[in-house]
A and B are shown apart, each in its own frame.
Chain A
Amino acid sequence: MIKLFGKRLPTFSHGIHPGDFKDLTRHLPIERMPFTDELVLPLSQHLGAPSRARVKVGDKVQRGQLIAEPGGFVSIGLHAPVTGTVTAIEPRHHPGGKMVEAIIIKTDPFSPQTFYNEHSMEWESLSARELISLIQHGGFVGLGGAAFPTHVKLSVPEGKHAQFLIVNGVECEPYLTADHRVMLENYEDLFLGIRILQHILKVKQVYIGVENNKEDAIEVLRKNVPGDMACEVIALETKYPQGAEKMLIEAVLHREVPSGRLPIDVEVVVNNSGTITGIGQMFRFGQPLIERVVTVTGPGINRPANLLVPIGTRLSDVLDYCGGLKDNTRQLLFGGPMMGTPQSHLDVPIMKGTSGILCLTENEVVVREEYPCIRCLRCVDVCPVSLNPSRLGSLAKSRDYEQMLDFHVMDCVECGSCSYVCPSNIPLVQRFRVAKGLLREQQARNKAS
């Protein structure tokens, strides 16, 4: 009733309201998962060039030690999540579907697993460039799911400058509660991380965007904002896909990122709250990105949990730790139900970008027949970037990819809202992803020739 008379909470235009299903795990404190006997660390866990291994088979590694260095500017370091021995460097199943070169570490069962500290913690005296390099070598990527290297976002190009930092605590995907628990439990590290980013970016104002289905987190953050920090916690209306960078900027600042441009073009830098917390932890304890919080959830798992998992732990080990799968489980996803990637192998490792493991049963995984488009335009109503998915869908079906460019398919954020509302069950977003992949390949070929 209060909301009826009060001001409406800020949000973006369009979007959908899927059920959030977060009650399974939102009250569960973060729990540390024990080390498993073998960890698989793909050299490509992020967008960009793969990292270069700097250990050999047979090497002893210490927890937190750099085992692969950045393979370029858009690339990051990789660290040993456990003390142990490198047993192999070979192609292994990757959650993205390919076989990817990975470092295999066998855990030393007698090690105390204290970590090896490579970093200086005196960050106040360091320059922005030094801090960015530390973050790159610390192996930080966006922990929300896309795994884009964080240091690239923090390196503001010459001639541009950031005015605002937005901390993305939205977590709009149904089921996931990892960021929610991190904000509740590790807010001190989050604020330390924000200070470091403020120091790098020289922003004057920080906003933390949190959806109002996480009221306890909003309250805790508001209560604990340091007095000297220009930081405001903004409660947002719960709506999907608010966690998408461009949507969040629209919700918080009412600025629209132009087509084909980046947030920095509207003087904003957005980072995930989990990532910033990780950066805070690195400068507090010297710990690089070697573990992350993963929500193991869904009706198909026996014991849902918010787990702190060492990167590289195999999916099957995590599922075993959570009491195993129920018999009627039909689908396993890395990430949430809207944008997560289904998995076909149980030996894939948890990666830096794995925000959740979702186990769906036959009750949720319903195979529906595809019908022709009836031009109801519900997809047009919900598309957060104002595209015409109906028209794009028919072009994609007839494989007229080039004409899709005229309908701005490259601006699609692949949120899946169109597929969600389609009454004819057309796999719209899947077709757009195929089209975008093909068009990108074609552009690369044209550029080469």
Chain B
Amino acid sequence: MSEAYLAVLFIGGLSIFLAGVLAFANRKLAVQEDPRIDAVTDMLPNANCGACGKPGCRAFAEAVVHGEQQPSDCTVGGPETAEIVANYLGIDPGSSVRKVARLMCAGGTDVAEQAANYVGAESCRAAAAVAGGPKECTYGCLGLADCEVACTFDAISMMPNALPFVNATKCTACGDCVAACPKGLFELIPINQHLLVQCKSQLAGDEILEGCEVACTACSRCAADAPEGLIEMKNNLPVINSALLHKETEIATLRCPTGAITWLNEQQFADKAKMAESE
């Protein structure tokens, strides 16, 4: 009997001693951390998407608390979250315009030609590695939905013409689709920018229209019609100067022979997206 008591006493004593050591260590070795970091982390969307450039929401919270980044750099949370974080920390939310991902290609299966049949793994990247994919235009969208798979916010859905439709209300501009597209067709563009060049083909001349009806032929009429400096031709493509967006006008799109440059309101491919939703 006494042996049992001895064992209980010994283990009991040992655990009390170790608890004491732990309690001491907890006091002495505690890492002093700004409590605001935890609070800010809780305010963030916790999507851990990486759009702000940090590995996750906690790292972003640290950067904000230390003043390295502005609350508005979190595009997922939007202005409301930035406001809440800024009020809590008593700092300026910063001004970053909300961006959305836009596809720089309008060559769906209804307007773009196929040069070959592709059979193999159902992925744009896999198809792009096989002679650039089956499309006549080697710059265009392959339509095998790598972006749809990559999007964690369910903002991308494929339309019947095999182009991805980006739902501008769900898109948080996290940039996952930009990285996923092997042809580099996605760009993050301020939501209030209306002019959009939906083509990446660096070829000039009308031959390109044999492969795609809506390609840019580099005629540069848009650059001539737009206000001074707004549109500039680079590598046979019009480039819109984002610093001069207040000068934007629909006139630039009117003489485009193919519709490669368009005027958007909120949603890209708004006409075709209706078809997608009805399916």
* A residues lining the B interface (CB < 8 Å): 91, 93, 95-99, 341-345, 367, 399, 427, 430-431, 433-434, 437-438
A438 close to B125 (CB less than 8 A): yes
A96 neighbours in B (Cβ, 8 Å): 131-132
26 intermolecular pairs with C-beta atoms under 8 Å apart: A91-B202, A93-B138, A96-B131, A97-B128, A97-B129, A97-B130, A97-B131, A97-B133, A98-B138, A341-B130, A344-B115, A344-B116, A344-B131, A344-B134, A367-B119, A399-B149, A430-B120, A430-B121, A430-B129, A430-B130, A431-B126, A433-B126, A433-B129, A434-B123, A434-B129, A437-B129
A342 to B136, CA, bound (A): 14
A97 close to B138 (CB less than 8 A): yes
B129 neighbours in A (Cβ, 8 Å): 97, 430, 433-434, 437
Enumerate B14-66 residues with CB–CB distance to A below 8 Å.
none
Is B139 an interface position by the 8 A CB rule? yes
A98 to B130, CA, bound (A): 10
A223 to B159, CA, bound (A): 66
A437 to B130, CA, bound (A): 13
A97 to B125, CA, bound (A): 12
Find the A residue at minimum CB distance from B133: A97
A97 close to B203 (CB less than 8 A): no
Partner of B121, one of A95, A427, A437: A427
B120 neighbours in A (Cβ, 8 Å): 427, 430
Find the B residue at minimum CB distance from A365: B119
A98 to B182, CA, bound (A): 11
Most buried by A among B121, B125, B131, B203: B131
A344 neighbours in B (Cβ, 8 Å): 115-116, 130-134
A97 neighbours in B (Cβ, 8 Å): 128-133, 138
Partner of A434, one of B121, B132, B149: B121
Partner of B125, one of A343, A345, A367, A434: A434
B202 neighbours in A (Cβ, 8 Å): 91, 99
Find the B residue at minimum CB distance from A344: B116
* B residues lining the A interface (CB < 8 Å): 115-116, 119-121, 123, 125-126, 128-134, 136, 138-139, 149, 202-203
A430 close to B126 (CB less than 8 A): yes
B119 close to A341 (CB less than 8 A): no
Partner of A99, one of B116, B119, B121, B138: B138
B115 neighbours in A (Cβ, 8 Å): 344-345
Chain B proximity of A385: nearest CB distance (Å): 20
Find the A residue at minimum CB distance from B179: A441
B121 close to A431 (CB less than 8 A): yes
B128 neighbours in A (Cβ, 8 Å): 97
Partner of B126, one of A91, A95, A427: A427
A99 neighbours in B (Cβ, 8 Å): 138-139, 202-203
Find the B residue at minimum CB distance from A93: B138
A343 to B131, CA, bound (A): 5
Chain A proximity of B32: nearest CB distance (Å): 29
The 7 lowest CB-CB distance pairs between A and B, nearest first, are A97-B132, A344-B116, A344-B131, A97-B131, A344-B115, A427-B121, A434-B125
Find the B residue at minimum CB distance from A343: B131
B121 neighbours in A (Cβ, 8 Å): 427, 430-431, 434
A367 to B133, CA, bound (A): 17
A114 to B128, CA, bound (A): 40
Find the A residue at minimum CB distance from B236: A91
B203 neighbours in A (Cβ, 8 Å): 91, 99
A342 to B133, CA, bound (A): 10
A437 to B128, CA, bound (A): 11
Chain B proximity of A340: nearest CB distance (Å): 10
Find the B residue at minimum CB distance from A346: B115
A184 to B139, CA, bound (A): 43
A95 to B130, CA, bound (A): 9
Find the A residue at minimum CB distance from B180: A438
B138 close to A342 (CB less than 8 A): no
B131 neighbours in A (Cβ, 8 Å): 95-97, 341-345
Find the A residue at minimum CB distance from B116: A344
Most buried by B among A96, A344, A427: A344
Chain B proximity of A108: nearest CB distance (Å): 25
Find the A residue at minimum CB distance from B123: A434
B119 neighbours in A (Cβ, 8 Å): 367
Find the B residue at minimum CB distance from A427: B121
A97 to B115, CA, bound (A): 12
Chain B proximity of A89: nearest CB distance (Å): 14
Find the B residue at minimum CB distance from A436: B129
B134 neighbours in A (Cβ, 8 Å): 344
A407 to B119, CA, bound (A): 27
Find the A residue at minimum CB distance from B204: A90
A95 to B132, CA, bound (A): 8
Chain B proximity of A346: nearest CB distance (Å): 9
Most buried by B among A93, A345, A434, A437: A434
B130 neighbours in A (Cβ, 8 Å): 97, 341-342, 344, 430
A344 to B118, CA, bound (A): 9
Find the A residue at minimum CB distance from B138: A99
Find the A residue at minimum CB distance from B128: A97
A399 to B124, CA, bound (A): 13
Find the B residue at minimum CB distance from A100: B138
Chain A proximity of B279: nearest CB distance (Å): 25
Chain B proximity of A130: nearest CB distance (Å): 39
B139 neighbours in A (Cβ, 8 Å): 99
Find the B residue at minimum CB distance from A428: B121
